[in-house]
Amino acid sequence: MRSLLIWIFLVPVVTNAQDAPSEEKKLEWNGNLDAKYTVFHMAQSSALYRLQFFNFPPSSAYLSQYRIEPYLNADYQARDVGFHLKTHATYFSDDNAAFDLFEAYGSFSPSVSSVIQAGKRVFTWGKGYAFNPVGFVNPVKDPENPELAQAGLLSASFEYVKSFSSPQLQTLSLLLVVIPPTPDFLNRYGEAENTAFAVKASALLWDTDIDVMGFYSKDDQQRIGFDISRNLRENVEVHAEMSYNQSAFRYSIVNGNLSGVRQDQVSYLIGFRYLHESNSTLIAEYYHNGPGLNRGEYEAYLSFLTNAVNSGNGTIVQQALGVQNHFRGNTLMRDYVYTKLIVPEPFDLLYFTPSFYSIYNINDGSFLISASLGYKPATNVEFILWPTVLVGTRTSEFGGRIVHERIEAWMRVFF
């Protein structure tokens, strides 16, 4: 299927190039290879650890992991036709490797103001850095590494952009996205009526970026939202997002059993970005997760997992792992504060850029604190040391995770 998609998108590009040999063409290749070594201090007493390692013999509290991740990107542009490809692979061993097609889509611009795209593409809706409650078509962002490249969405889209000379309204755009249903039959066919649709209208109004978006899916959910961003000063930017999710499923553990109910949910974010004259950047955001668990609900969830492990019954453990699939993600509770400080070349230390960030769970007082220490001695080489510590009680979100601490060492080579 992947080969067919790539062939479909390459045919119009090649045909167009043959029909118009005199037009300018541009092909660019780039990528990087990440070699990552990580040491984990495992939280062996946590319910999450005991559940995941139930069928494994006892081990040391310190585990390590080594992997390599090659990224390969290609962009071909011939005036009004383009092809875009982003791939990623993860290699642990010869017996454990995976290939991911992050993006593969074709684009055609019938006019200067419009573009049609089809294939697999990453969308970046929302103004937030660590969280995006209006990211209806985005890949799920990891707040611990918001800039991590991720897989896009199979879709077709049409975008129209109009510029104005008015000092009040500078630009206006409309983006329509059609999302095919997930294949349910033979992993190839889906119910046509389950096709989803998303729309985003954007405007640069009085030097303020404003987006209004909506999402519709017959079997999933209906959402509406908006975001806004504005520079109060040259070095101070503020942003906000809000989404309303109509009649969406919300899961919790009630009396030792999984309970799912449909509720209207509101999520929102407010934040700012400050650039100091030293070129240091401070980012801070508050995020309210509408479908998140309150403290009592989270403790009931952990108690459910603990009881499953304590039963010593493999069948019950497997059932608990199935229930855990409804509680995936790095923000299971309701209220978080994210802060990040980036300090390029402090104390005149050339090529060294440390950054420090934390995620604080307001509901239970647990938090995560981390530092990414990057050193780039050459244009195409970067070394990163990335320690992370999780703090909290055993029944808190960060304190009850599968690890207490971890430290990562990266070597990244670009080409």
User: What tens-digit pLDDT sequence spans the chain (415 residues)?
Assistant: 333 333 333 434 334 444 444 456 799 999 999 999 999 999 999 999 999 999 888 889 999 999 999 999 999 999 899 999 999 999 999 999 999 999 999 999 999 999 999 999 999 999 999 999 999 999 999 999 999 989 999 999 999 999 998 889 999 999 999 999 988 888 888 888 889 999 999 999 999 999 999 999 987 679 999 999 999 999 999 999 999 999 888 999 998 899 989 889 999 999 999 999 999 999 999 999 999 999 999 999 999 999 999 998 989 999 999 998 889 888 999 999 999 999 999 998 999 999 999 999 999 999 999 999 999 999 999 999 999 999 999 999 999 999 999 999 999 999 9
- Which one-letter DSSP state was computed for residue 207? T
- Do 404 and 41 meet the contact criterion of CB atoms below 8 Å apart? yes
The Cα–Cα gap between 369 and 398 comes to: 10
Quote the pLDDT of residue 166. Answer: 86
The Cα–Cα gap between 317 and 106 comes to: 45
The CATH code belonging to domain 2-414 is: 2.40.160.10
Using only C-alpha atoms, the chain has a radius of gyration, in whole angstroms, of 23
Q: Which residues of 373-382 are buried (b: 16+ CB within 10 A; e: fewer)?
A: ebebeeeeeb
**Residue given tokens 């509101």 in the structure block:** 266
Structure token pair of residue 7: 């062939």
Quote the pLDDT of residue 16. Answer: 43
Helix (H, G, I), strand (E, B) or coil at 397: coil
- Do 226 and 210 meet the contact criterion of CB atoms below 8 Å apart? yes
Quote the pLDDT of residue 183. Answer: 87
Quote the pLDDT of residue 23. Answer: 56
- Do 267 and 286 meet the contact criterion of CB atoms below 8 Å apart? no
The Cα–Cα gap between 70 and 88 comes to: 6
- Do 352 and 375 meet the contact criterion of CB atoms below 8 Å apart? yes
**Other C-beta atoms within 10 Å of 280: how many?**
14
The burial class, CB within 10 Å (0-12 / 13-18 / 19+), for 364 is buried
Quote the pLDDT of residue 397. Answer: 95
Quote the pLDDT of residue 14. Answer: 39
Task: Pick the closest to residue 138 from 193, 182, 179, 84 (CA basis).
Answer: 179
Flag whether the pTM goes above 0.95.
no
Strands (DSSP E) contained in 164-235 are 169-179, 196-205, 208-216, 222-233
The Cα–Cα gap between 35 and 68 comes to: 4
The Cα–Cα gap between 366 and 391 comes to: 6
Q: What amino acid is encoded at 343 in this protein? A: V
Quote the pLDDT of residue 234. Answer: 93
Structure token pair of residue 34: 């990440």
Structural domain boundaries of the chain?
Answer: 2-414
Question: Residue 330: in which H helix or E strand, if any?
Answer: none
